[in-house]
């Protein structure tokens, strides 16, 4: 088996002292993985992503991404953030936004060239919204905006795509297309997706990590209700929502 692209060992992290949000995390992600991270709110999902992206530094433990420090590996990563935080009034077009994906590789005064525009066109066509390239971001629907952010990540030709709660504000039909799109992307890149939409995630990923301060990693086929109970600490309300039990038993 090839080397893992992400290796995390004994990772701990706390925003405030002695109140760990992540504890003793071990995780390996491989180049063709499609990993779903689930867990309750406040369980540390986004925090873990931020550590992998080098936005936060772990208090203890080692994190290697593509055998480098997280910050140095950023060029190989495409990131699709939670999109609640984005200002829809911002006067930028879809094309502008997608090109922002490769802006970090440009020098000042250096313009986007034909090749950059071609990459943007490719990315937009891949997610099937090329016809919207001149629209302002606020004019799009939730599902369309989702695709813009994915195109912005894909223009970087990433070897790892990270998505944080991507299905939060899209409708059911867009969601189905969305998973098809991710499977297509997974042919060339590893994917890590964070979600609390447990029901859908099982059907699509090949590895599941349950995160609630501590992390339990499984093949998608071997997940049991005990594992979930341990993650969610018997929080029936979260579990009962959107997770039919028969799906679990059958697997």
Whether residue 8 contacts residue 61, with contact meaning beta carbons closer than 8 Å, is answered with yes
Choose, by CB under 8 A, the member of 85, 114, 226, 237 that binds other proteins. 85
Binding mask 99-118 for other proteins (x = CB under 8 A): xxxxxxxx-xx---------
> What does the chain come to in residues?
251
Q: Is 206 in the site for other proteins (CB under 8 A)?
A: no
Q: Distance between the two ends of the chain, CA-based, in angstroms?
A: 26
CB neighbours of residue 87 within 10 Å: 9
Lookup result for tokens 């059907």: 203
Per CB under 8 A, the segment of 138-146, 198-206, 231-239, 240-248 that binds other proteins is 138-146
Q: How far apart are CA 146 and CA 149, in angstroms?
A: 5
Which residues are CB-contacts of 240 (< 8 A; sequence separation ≥ 6)? none
Whether residue 39 contacts residue 196, with contact meaning beta carbons closer than 8 Å, is answered with yes
Q: Is 79 in the site for other proteins (CB under 8 A)?
A: yes
DSSP state of 21: E
Choose, by CB under 8 A, the member of 40, 43, 81, 166 that binds other proteins. 81
Per CB under 8 A, the segment of 97-105, 124-132, 185-193, 230-238 that binds other proteins is 97-105
Q: Is 171 in the site for other proteins (CB under 8 A)?
A: yes
| Closer by beta carbon to other proteins, 139 or else 180 | 139
Question: Which stretches of the chain bind other proteins, using CB under 8 A?
Answer: 53-55, 74-75, 77, 79, 81, 85-93, 96-97, 99-106, 108-109, 136, 138-142, 152, 156, 169-171
């Amino acid at each position: 088996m090839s080397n893992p692209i992400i290796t995390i060992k004994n990772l701990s992290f706390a925003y405030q002292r002695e109140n760990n949000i992540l504890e003793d995390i071990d995780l390996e992600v491989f180049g063709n993985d499609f990993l779903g991270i689930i867990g309750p709110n406040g369980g540390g999902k986004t925090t873990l992503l931020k550590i992998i992206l080098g936005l936060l530094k772990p208090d203890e433990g080692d994190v290697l991404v593509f055998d480098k420090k997280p910050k140095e590996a950023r060029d190989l990563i495409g990131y699709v953030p939670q999109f609640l935080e984005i200002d829809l009034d911002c006067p930028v077009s879809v094309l502008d936004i997608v090109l922002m994906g490769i802006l970090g590789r440009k020098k000042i005064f250096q313009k986007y060239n034909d090749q950059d525009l071609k990459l943007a066109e490719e990315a937009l066509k891949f997610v099937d919204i090329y016809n919207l390239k001149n629209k302002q971001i606020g004019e799009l629907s939730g599902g369309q905006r989702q695709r813009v952010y994915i195109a912005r990540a894909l223009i970087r030709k990433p070897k790892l795509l990270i998505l944080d709660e991507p299905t939060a504000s899209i409708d059911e039909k867009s969601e189905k297309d969305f998973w098809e799109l991710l499977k297509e992307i997974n042919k060339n890149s590893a994917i890590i997706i964070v979600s609390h939409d447990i029901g859908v995630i099982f059907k699509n990923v090949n590895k599941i990590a349950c995160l609630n301060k501590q992390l339990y990693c499984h093949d998608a086929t071997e997940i049991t209700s005990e594992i979930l109970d341990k993650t969610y600490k018997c929080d029936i309300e979260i579990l009962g929502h959107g997770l039919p039990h028969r799906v679990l038993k059958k697997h």
